[in-house]
């Protein structure tokens, strides 16, 4: 079956398969575990769109108007604006306003998300299972100065990712094209050399030839880290402060840490863009507004704050109950599931007996720790390592977490007794913050009831990750999280559970190295059909759970407010943030 046919079939199947509601945790039961387990939560529906889906303009919001200024208030300035340097979701989300990629996601009226062609006419084609990908650019796509965006621009944008000044963005495509040590294979375009693996037979066609099969590369290319940069306006390091626009807005002023102002790019044609509505005339973004201040300003909803929006500032935890309990905020509240999953990693180098690891999972007090961090607004109880926002996610509760989110000390004690491991010492490093001190006490209480000996080790927040990411970290159990870079199992599971990437500072914090799982990861990564691939990843997820490698804790949620003068504010579940794409000023 050709890949085009595969994708078409997959699109239908995926849409069907994933819009099914899945019984997982949470709901809005104010932290009550029993009722939470009964509340079904919709997983995010993700599908692969067709060429027709990739046509602009984007679907109109009911009653939307053009014009006006949206005021964004947030705590931090964006750390990167150069697409090549962008990895964090916060930077990615704003860059959608002024940078386009070959592919992207459009939010459907039912809230589901669809991978579509952004600069490309469709989501790409492959005839060899995902080793070679071909994209055709749309007519009418232009830079902010009116010059057309060509295949040479796309090639150049990939080539410059090899330059040594690009250090912060994703490295997937470069590694797939030239190997893990990609910078020794090609130095970048600044001395006139070209990358042969990306070919441009004409102005409209880009052919990307990977060294191996990567069937979900069209998802990878939707990362804003692979947005386009024009050679004529590439200012190298300086590009990070003021990029050249290929999207609906262009940057007029950026004062670091203070403000970012955008206005319309007159050369952006909505007919070419299925993703962005671009209703407002201008965006005025200000930084330095703390969580408490932004929450109070949104609650007061006064003056210019009526048209205020935030990418990243969620509701201050002390106002969560008030915001959720008062109807006057309801119409301006946005809550959604993010791609981030909290885990409590078990150090498998130190705890080798599966029964002891299972005892830790069974004893863990999810209910208490979640409540201390914001209750249902913090997230839904997790039972898997893959998030419900990932294509192929299946609910599977191997250890009855949903039935007893408060922990089951008796069952845990029984397992420890069987393993002759009563009194096993658990060294637990934690971020020494007021909330984490309380969380640690809850964990201590639960584990000691189950028969463990608990030794907490406070760490400074700045050094926490550096410490637990060491192979010889001297710890048994520690918190960590992971979010998929694109909504397939590859980026959700490979970095965290592939035994061949275990290294100091790496992401496999549980130090799991199971040859069967490593092989299964390789096999799943090569499955071309998205539905079959999703099932393969779900099977790996189950295998990980059956081995009790770590404790899945919470699928993180986001709760935020916005001003009453805005409409079309939607949650981007793939980034876990409020999306700027459909917003309009009422």
Partner 1 sequence: MLRFLVRRTLGALVILLIVSMITYALFFAIPADPARLYCGKVCTPENLALIKHDMGFDHAWPVQYWNWLSTIFTGGTFNGVHCGAPCFGYSFDKKELVGGILLDRFPTTLSLTVGSAVVFLVIGIGTGMLAAHKQGKAADKIASSFSLLASSMQIYVAGPLALWALCYSTDLLELPTYVPFTQDPLGWAGGLLVPWIVLSLIWTANYTRMTRSSMVEQLSEDYVRTARAKGMSGTSVFMRYAWRGAMGTIVTVFGIDLGVLLGGAIITETTFSLHGLGELAIHSFRDSDLSLLVGVTVVAATLIVFFNIVVDAAYALIDPRIRLA
Q: How many whole angstroms separate alpha carbon 68 and alpha carbon 566?
A: 10
DSSP state of 215: T
How near is the Cβ of 63 to partner 1 at its closest, in Å?
Answer: 27
Nearer to partner 1 among residue 127 and residue 184 (C-beta): 184
In 160-269, alpha helices (H): 172-178, 182-185, 217-220
- Interface mask (CB under 8 A) for partner 1, residues 271-290, using x and -? ---------------x-xxx
Nearer to partner 1 among residue 302 and residue 425 (C-beta): 302
Question: Is residue 69 near partner 1 by the rule CB under 8 A?
Answer: no
Which regions of 102-258 does DSSP assign to beta strands (E)? 103-107, 113-117, 132-136, 198-202, 205-209, 249-255
Q: How many whole angstroms separate alpha carbon 552 and alpha carbon 345?
A: 8
The correct pick among 300, 435, 455, 523 for binding partner 1 (CB under 8 A) is 300
Nearer to partner 1 among residue 78 and residue 549 (C-beta): 78
Q: Which residue has the tokens 């693996």?
A: 197
Window 302 to 361, contacts with partner 1 (CB under 8 A): 302-303, 305
Nearer to partner 1 among residue 74 and residue 408 (C-beta): 74
Nearer to partner 1 among residue 175 and residue 199 (C-beta): 175
Q: Pairing between strand 308-309 and 69-74?
A: parallel
- CB-CB neighbours of 426 under 10 Å: 24
How near is the Cβ of 174 to partner 1 at its closest, in Å?
Answer: 10
How near is the Cβ of 319 to partner 1 at its closest, in Å?
Answer: 12
3-class state of residue 40 by DSSP:
coil
**Tokens (6 digits) for 106:** 């459009």
**Tokens (6 digits) for 483:** 């979010």
How near is the Cβ of 303 to partner 1 at its closest, in Å?
Answer: 5
The correct pick among 9, 64, 88, 108 for binding partner 1 (CB under 8 A) is 88
Q: Could you tell me which stretch among 164-172, 430-438, 547-555, 572-580 binds partner 1 (CB under 8 A)?
A: 164-172
- CB-CB neighbours of 480 under 10 Å: 19
The answer to whether the bond into 57 is cis (omega within 30° of 0) is: yes
Question: Is residue 87 near partner 1 by the rule CB under 8 A?
Answer: yes
- Interface mask (CB under 8 A) for partner 1, residues 527-566, using x and -? ----------------------------------------
Question: Is residue 237 near partner 1 by the rule CB under 8 A?
Answer: yes
How near is the Cβ of 9 to partner 1 at its closest, in Å?
Answer: 32
Question: Is residue 168 near partner 1 by the rule CB under 8 A?
Answer: yes
The correct pick among 169, 247, 365, 487 for binding partner 1 (CB under 8 A) is 169
3-class state of residue 45 by DSSP:
coil
Question: Is residue 297 near partner 1 by the rule CB under 8 A?
Answer: yes
Q: Pairing between strand 113-117 and 46-48?
A: parallel
Q: Is-contact 468 475, C-beta < 8 A? A: yes
Q: How many whole angstroms separate alpha carbon 339 and alpha carbon 105?
A: 15
Nearer to partner 1 among residue 163 and residue 512 (C-beta): 163
The correct pick among 110, 257, 327, 472 for binding partner 1 (CB under 8 A) is 257
Q: How many whole angstroms separate alpha carbon 7 and alpha carbon 529?
A: 7
Q: Could you tell me which stretch among 28-36, 141-149, 166-174, 343-351 binds partner 1 (CB under 8 A)?
A: 166-174
Helix 409-418 with 434-450: angle, nearest 10 deg? 60
Closest Cα to residue 82, out of 92, 71, 70, 68? 92
Closest Cα to residue 569, out of 207, 289, 277, 317? 277
How near is the Cβ of 341 to partner 1 at its closest, in Å?
Answer: 14
Q: Could you tell me which stretch among 102-110, 121-129, 380-388, 462-470 binds partner 1 (CB under 8 A)?
A: 462-470
How near is the Cβ of 258 to partner 1 at its closest, in Å?
Answer: 5
Window 465 to 484, contacts with partner 1 (CB under 8 A): 465-467
Q: What is the DSSP string of 314-364?
A: ---GGGHHHHHH-GGGGGGEEEEEEEEEEEEEE-TTT---HHHHHHHHHH-
Window 173 to 212, contacts with partner 1 (CB under 8 A): 180-181, 183
**Tokens (6 digits) for 333:** 């509240």
Give the count of residues interacting with partner 1 (CB under 8 A). 45
Binding positions for partner 1, rule: CB under 8 A: 79, 87-88, 164-165, 167-171, 180-181, 183, 236-238, 240-241, 256-258, 286, 288-290, 292-293, 296-297, 299-300, 302-303, 305, 460, 462-463, 465-467, 485, 495, 503, 505, 507
């Amino acid at each position: 079956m050709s890949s085009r046919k595969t994708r078409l079939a997959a699109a239908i199947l995926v849409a069907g398969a994933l819009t099914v509601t899945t019984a997982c945790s949470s709901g809005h039961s104010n932290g009550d575990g029993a009722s939470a387990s009964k509340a079904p939560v919709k997983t995010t529906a993700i599908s692969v769109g067709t060429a027709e889906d990739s046509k602009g303009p984007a679907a109109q919001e009911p009653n939307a108007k053009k014009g006006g200024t949206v005021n964004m208030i947030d705590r931090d300035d964006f750390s990167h604006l150069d697409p090549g340097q962008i990895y964090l979701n916060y930077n990615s989300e704003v860059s959608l306003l002024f940078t386009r990629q070959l592919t992207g996601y459009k939010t459907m009226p039912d809230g589901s998300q669809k991978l579509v062609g952004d600069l490309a006419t469709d989501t790409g084609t492959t005839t060899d299972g995902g080793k070679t990908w071909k994209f055709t650019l749309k007519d009418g796509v232009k830079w902010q100065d009116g010059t057309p965006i060509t295949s040479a621009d796309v090639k150049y944008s990939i080539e410059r990712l090899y330059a040594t000044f690009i250090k912060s963005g994703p490295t997937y495509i470069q590694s797939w094209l030239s190997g893990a040590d990609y910078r020794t294979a090609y130095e970048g375009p600044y001395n006139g050399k070209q990358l042969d693996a990306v070919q441009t037979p004409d102005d409209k066609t880009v052919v990307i030839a990977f060294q191996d099969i990567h069937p979900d590369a069209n998802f990878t290319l939707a990362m804003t880290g692979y947005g386009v940069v024009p050679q004529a306006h590439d200012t190298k390091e300086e590009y990070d402060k003021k990029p050249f626009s290929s999207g609906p807005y262009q940057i007029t002023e950026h004062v670091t840490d203070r403000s970012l102002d955008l206005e319309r790019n007159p050369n952006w044609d909505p007919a070419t863009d299925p993703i962005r509505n671009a209703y407002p005339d201008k965006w005025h973004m200000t930084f330095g507004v703390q969580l408490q201040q932004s929450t109070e300003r949104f609650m007061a909803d006064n003056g210019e704050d009526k048209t205020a929006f935030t990418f990243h500032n969620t509701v201050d935890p002390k106002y969560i109950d008030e915001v959720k309990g008062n109807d006057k905020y309801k119409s301006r509240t946005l809550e959604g599931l993010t791609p981030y999953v909290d885990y409590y990693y078990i150090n498998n180098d130190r705890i080798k007996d599966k029964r002891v690891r299972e005892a830790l999972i069974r004893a863990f007090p999810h209910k208490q720790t979640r409540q201390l961090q914001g209750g249902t607004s913090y997230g839904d109880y997790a039972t898997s390592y893959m998030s419900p926002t990932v294509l192929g996610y299946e609910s599977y509760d191997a250890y009855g977490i949903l039935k007893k989110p408060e922990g089951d000390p008796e069952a845990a004690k029984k397992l420890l007794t069987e393993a002759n491991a009563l009194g096993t010492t658990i060294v637990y490093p934690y971020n020494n913050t007021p909330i984490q001190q309380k969380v640690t006490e809850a964990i201590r209480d639960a584990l000691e009831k189950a028969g463990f000996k608990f030794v907490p080790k406070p760490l400074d927040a700045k050094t926490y990750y550096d410490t637990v990411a060491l192979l010889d970290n001297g710890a048994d159990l520690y918190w960590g999280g992971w979010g998929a870079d694109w909504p397939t199992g590859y980026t959700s599971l490979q970095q965290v559970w592939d035994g061949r990437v275990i290294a100091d500072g790496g992401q496999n914090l549980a130090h799991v190295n199971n040859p069967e799982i490593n092989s299964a990861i390789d096999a799943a990564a090569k499955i071309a059909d998205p539905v079959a691939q999703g099932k393969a990843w779900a099977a790996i997820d189950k295998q990980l759970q059956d081995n009790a490698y770590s404790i899945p804790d919470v699928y993180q949620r986001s709760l935020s407010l916005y001003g009453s003068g805005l409409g079309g504010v939607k949650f981007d579940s793939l980034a876990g943030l409020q999306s700027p794409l459909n917003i309009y000023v009422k």
